[in-house]
Each structure stands twice: as structure tokens, then as C-alpha cells.
């Protein structure tokens, strides 16, 4: 390798590699597709949701588009329920490029707006304004930008309040319950028998949006977007009797609260256990954890998750956090194909954020996302499009780098570290 060679922060692909232009403005959904989406969604819900579903509308009487529709995100079923709940109105959705994979024409036809995860894209503001002001349709955003890892609300970016304010439109929140319990992100292939319940609620009228500041709008959105699937399960006495219900839970509960060891948790059947100290917990039919012997550290699953997050934060604050690994990399420059990039090195620390260094066709590349530029991390459990194992993605405005770690069960912690480092940086700026 030539030492003086300039290292690029992108991949120099051969000319025949098709890139996707995420700055494309959305086309207006033809009403034919609105009808088709509604019919297909109804049919899919009827065929696949064995325990049935219910959609309740609150404060929605007489509300016509344009409006901003914010949805929590748990599973693919969210889309079906959304199309059923909003018919006969046209809904344009902000979707990530992976959602266009192998079917960009179709996703464009339904008027979607393309984005790469956790990147700042100026054209997105323009596309959203086009839907709300020119088409006067519903603009749907999944502000958590990923499926919930633990059945509670993830980070919601500040830009959402500004978006509502700028376009002077009502804000509607659609909250799904049951979708996560039926097919949690960490075991999404097998669907458990869980009834679904969705609420669609206008939380702010256009007049209220006009009178409130963007911060006040954000506060209201955050309040209304809160959900907790395990609490909902218990409150509604929903029993999950599948004998594999705990399988995959170790991907999010990766640290043992008994011996503190990380990444040695595992799960089988209805049990979660630590391979280091042998402690074992049962996941009850009502979604609580119970230690088979000794103290139950966390009966409520999200409490365990947040305890892990707090531990990561302590590590960052004490200066002991850093991560390095060899990863296998695939990129997604366009919507049709993932490209194998071979091995690369990744590191993550509070000084540099993420740094990914590898080479393609003998040309070195170096991709960096600073702490302040990344408020969360795109992680995938058993990723459905490339290799069906865990990976994380570092995106730039023009490419996405899907990294498969060599170290086992680390992606949830990487996500915590990204979020906590961002928050600490923000707190410092404010102070």
C-alpha cells in the first residue's frame, strides 16, 4: 500500500454499481395503490394475526390530511395496521433504504421517502414538506427509526417537533401494542399467539402546533409516544404460552446481573441463563423474569435493559469505555444488492465515535461517524437481508456499511454506548 495515498471516506465502486439517490422527491401515491395497500393489509392481518386485532381512534373525528402521523415501531405488522387505520387517506412513509431492497419501484410508487439510518439528510425536509404542503397527504414517520429492542420507546430525535411546527399540521400518534410481544426484534421469525391493540390519537391540532414552541411539541410527542409492552401484557393478563418464548432474549439482556459478566448470557426454551456463573431465570407466561434460585434481580425486563445502559454510561464517564473488533463488512450503495467488502477493523470510543477502516479492490477506505453526529446506532438481530446473524450498520449520506462483529453478542451494548456518548456530549454542550 502506498503510504502517501489519500484514504477515501467512501467506496470507489466500479461504474456498473448502481447507487440510489436518497434525495429524490417522493411521487404522489396513486389512489389505486391506496386501495391496494388497504386490501392487502386487511387480508394479511386476517391471515396472520390468529388472536385478532383492534384499532381504536381517539380525537380523530373529522380530521382530514394533511397531518403528521408518528408511529411506534415493533414489527412489519405495524405497516399493515397503519394502512388499515388511515384508509381512505394516502399515507407517505419515511423509509430506510433497506426497505427498498429489491423492490425500489414499488416502494417509490406508494410515495415513500428514502433515508439512510441515523444520517442527516437536508433533502428529507424538502420531501416531507412536499407531502404535507403540496400533496396534502399523511406523512408517516417512525421516529424511533428501528424496531424496539425491549418493548419500550427508544430515542426520539428533536427534529420531529420542528417538522410539525414548520409545516403547521396536526400531530397524530399511532401506538401499537402486542406486535413486539408477538414477534420481538430478537426472535422475529416465529410469531407467538398475542392479540394486537392499536390506538390512533390526534395529540395536537394545527392551532395548538402553531401556538407551541418546537420544544413543547417535542415534549408532548415524547409523552404520548411512551409505551411499555411488558406492562401492557401484565395489565391485560396476556399469557404467552409458547415454550420457546425466552429464546433470543439474551441478545438484549447481554449482561448477567449476578456475576456482571457481559456477552455470556444465553437462552433456551422458557429460560434465560448465564454461561459464566450458571444463574438461570424463567420467563413467565405473563412476561416477568423469575430466578430459579436466589434473588430475582429484575422481574421487569425493561429494568434489566436500563440497568445495562446505566452500566455502559458509568464506563463512559469513568473513561474505561472503548470497543475494537474485526468485522465482516457488506455495503448497500443502491437498493438492489449488498456488496461484500471483506474484513475491516472497527473501533468505537468517546474521542472518535465510530471509525471503520478497511480496503476494497486494494483501495483503503476510512469511514467515521463522530459522537455528536450519531444519536443512536442501527443494529439488526439475525439480519434478514444478508447473513442471518447480528450486525450493526454505520451509514453515511451515500452508503451503508453493515458490520458483522467477530465478538459475540456485542451490538446491544454498542447501541447503548452510542446513545449515552451522544447524550453526554449534548449535556456538555448545554452546560
The least CB distance from residue 151 to Zn ion, in Å, is 23
Size, binding site for Zn ion by CB under 5 A: 6
The set of residues, in sequence order, having a beta carbon less than 8 Å from that of 88 and lying 6+ positions away, is 34, 35, 38
C-beta of 281 vs 392, nearer to Zn ion: 281
Rule CB under 5 A: choose which of 58, 259, 310, 389 binds Zn ion: 259
C-beta of 173 vs 256, nearer to Zn ion: 256
- Alpha carbons within 13 A on the beta-carbon side of 302: 16
Q: Looking at residues 350 to 369 of the shown chain, list those that interact with Zn ion (rule: CB under 5 A).
A: none
Q: Which stretch binds Zn ion (CB under 5 A): 238-246, 258-266, 288-296, 324-332?
A: 258-266
Rule CB under 5 A: choose which of 74, 169, 270, 274 binds Zn ion: 274
Binding mask 170-209 for Zn ion (x = CB under 5 A): ----------------------------------------
The least CB distance from residue 428 to Zn ion, in Å, is 34
Q: Provide the grid cell at 125.
A: 425536509
Q: Which stretch binds Zn ion (CB under 5 A): 275-283, 302-310, 380-388, 391-399?
A: 275-283
Q: How far apart are CA 71 and CA 26, in angstroms?
A: 20
Q: Which stretch binds Zn ion (CB under 5 A): 30-38, 157-165, 267-275, 407-415?
A: 267-275
Q: Quick check: 43 binds Zn ion (CB under 5 A)? A: no
What φ, ψ does residue 237 adopt, rounded to 5°?
50, 45
End-to-end CA distance of the chain: 45
Q: Give the pairing type, strands 363-369 and 67-71.
A: unpaired
Q: Which of 77, 275, 329 is nearest to 179 (CA)?
A: 77
C-beta of 84 vs 413, nearer to Zn ion: 413
The stretches of 185-318 forming alpha helices (DSSP H) are: 206-211, 214-225, 229-235, 301-317
Q: Which stretch binds Zn ion (CB under 5 A): 106-114, 190-198, 227-235, 254-262?
A: 254-262
The least CB distance from residue 425 to Zn ion, in Å, is 32
The set of residues, in sequence order, having a beta carbon less than 8 Å from that of 393 and lying 6+ positions away, is 117, 377, 378, 379, 380, 400, 401, 402, 403
Q: Quick check: 265 binds Zn ion (CB under 5 A)? A: no
Beta strands in 97-194 (DSSP E): 113-115, 138-141, 171-177
The least CB distance from residue 361 to Zn ion, in Å, is 45
Q: Quick check: 286 binds Zn ion (CB under 5 A)? A: no
**Look-up of cell digits 431492497:** 101
C-beta of 149 vs 257, nearer to Zn ion: 257
Q: Which stretch binds Zn ion (CB under 5 A): 131-139, 238-246, 249-257, 285-293?
A: 249-257
* Residue 265, Cβ density class (10 Å: 0-12 exposed, 13-18 middle, ≥19 buried): buried
The least CB distance from residue 251 to Zn ion, in Å, is 16
| H-helix or E-strand spanning residue 188 | none
Q: Provide the grid cell at 326.
A: 474485526
Q: How far apart are CA 337 and CA 253, in angstroms?
A: 32
Q: How far is CA 344 from the centre of its chain?
A: 25
The least CB distance from residue 356 to Zn ion, in Å, is 32
The least CB distance from residue 260 to Zn ion, in Å, is 7
Q: Looking at residues 392 to 431 of the shown chain, list those that interact with Zn ion (rule: CB under 5 A).
A: none
C-beta of 221 vs 312, nearer to Zn ion: 312
Buried b / exposed e over 37-61, threshold 16 CB at 10 Å, is bbeebeebbeeebeeebebeeeebe
Rule CB under 5 A: choose which of 276, 288, 303, 325 binds Zn ion: 276
Helices 77-86 and 31-48, axial angle in degrees (round to 10): 130
Q: Provide the grid cell at 175.
A: 401506538
The least CB distance from residue 282 to Zn ion, in Å, is 16
Q: Which stretch binds Zn ion (CB under 5 A): 10-18, 157-165, 255-263, 357-365?
A: 255-263
The least CB distance from residue 283 to Zn ion, in Å, is 17
Q: Quick check: 277 binds Zn ion (CB under 5 A)? A: yes
- Alpha carbons within 13 A on the beta-carbon side of 426: 11
Q: Quick check: 258 binds Zn ion (CB under 5 A)? A: yes
C-beta of 276 vs 357, nearer to Zn ion: 276
C-beta of 138 vs 274, nearer to Zn ion: 274
**What number of residues does the chain have?**
431
C-beta of 53 vs 254, nearer to Zn ion: 254
User: Could you list the residues that contact Zn ion (CB under 5 A)?
Assistant: 256, 258-259, 274, 276-277
Amino acid at each position: 500500500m502506498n503510504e502517501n495515498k489519500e484514504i477515501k471516506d467512501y467506496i470507489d465502486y466500479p461504474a456498473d454499481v448502481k447507487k440510489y439517490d436518497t434525495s429524490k422527491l417522493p411521487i404522489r401515491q396513486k389512489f389505486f395503490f391506496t386501495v391496494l395497500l388497504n386490501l392487502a393489509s386487511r387480508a394479511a392481518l386476517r391471515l396472520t394475526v390468529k388472536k385478532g386485532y383492534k384499532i381504536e381512534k381517539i380525537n380523530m373525528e373529522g380530521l382530514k390530511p394533511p397531518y403528521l402521523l408518528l408511529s411506534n415501531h415493533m414489527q412489519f405488522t405495524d405497516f399493515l395496521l397503519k394502512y388499515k387505520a388511515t384508509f381512505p387517506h394516502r399515507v407517505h412513509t419515511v423509509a430506510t433504504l433497506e426497505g427498498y431492497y429489491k423492490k425500489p419501484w414499488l416502494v417509490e410508487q406508494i410515495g415513500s421517502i428514502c433515508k439512510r439510518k441515523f444520517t442527516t439528510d437536508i433533502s428529507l425536509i424538502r420531501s416531507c414538506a412536499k407531502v404535507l404542503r403540496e400533496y396534502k397527504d399523511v406523512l408517516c414517520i417512525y421516529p424511533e427509526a428501528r424496531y424496539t429492542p425491549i418493548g419500550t420507546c427508544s430515542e426520539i430525535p428533536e427534529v420531529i417537533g420542528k417538522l410539525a411546527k414548520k409545516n403547521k399540521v396536526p400531530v397524530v400518534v399511532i401506538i401499537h401494542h402486542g406486535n413486539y410481544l408477538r414477534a420481538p426484534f430478537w426472535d422475529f421469525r416465529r410469531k407467538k399467539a398475542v392479540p394486537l391493540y392499536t390506538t390512533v390519537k390526534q395529540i395536537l391540532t394545527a392551532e395548538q402546533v402553531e401556538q407551541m414552541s418546537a420544544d413543547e411539541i417535542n415534549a408532548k410527542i415524547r409523552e404520548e409516544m411512551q409505551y411499555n409492552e411488558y406492562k401492557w401484557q401484565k395489565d391485560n393478563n396476556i399469557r404467552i404460552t409458547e415454550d420457546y418464548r425466552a429464546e433470543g432474549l439474551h441478545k438484549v439482556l447481554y449482561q448477567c446481573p449476578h456475576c456482571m459478566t457481559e456477552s455470556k448470557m444465553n437462552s433456551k426454551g422458557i429460560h434465560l441463563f448465564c454461561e459464566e456463573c450458571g444463574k438461570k431465570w424463567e420467563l413467565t407466561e405473563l412476561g416477568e423474569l423469575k430466578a430459579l434460585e436466589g434473588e430475582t434481580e429484575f422481574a421487569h425486563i425493561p429494568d434489566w435493559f436500563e440497568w445495562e445502559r446505566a452500566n455502559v454510561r458509568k464506563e463512559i464517564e469513568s473513561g474505561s469505555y472503548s470497543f475494537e473488533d474485526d468485522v465482516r463488512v457488506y455495503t448497500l450503495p443502491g437498493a438492489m444488492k449488498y456488496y461484500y467488502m471483506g474484513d475491516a477493523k472497527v473501533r468505537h470510543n468517546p474521542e472518535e465515535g465510530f471509525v471503520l477502516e478497511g480496503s476494497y479492490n486494494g483501495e483503503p477506505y476510512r469511514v467515521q461517524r463522530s459522537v455528536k453526529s450519531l444519536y443512536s446506532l442501527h443494529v439488526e438481530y439475525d439480519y434478514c437481508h444478508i447473513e442471518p446473524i447480528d450486525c450493526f450498520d454505520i451509514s453515511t449520506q451515500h452508503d451503508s456499511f453493515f458490520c458483522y462483529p467477530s465478538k459475540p453478542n456485542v451490538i446491544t451494548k454498542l447501541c447503548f454506548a452510542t446513545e449515552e456518548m451522544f447524550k453526554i456530549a449534548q449535556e456538555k454542550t448545554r452546560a
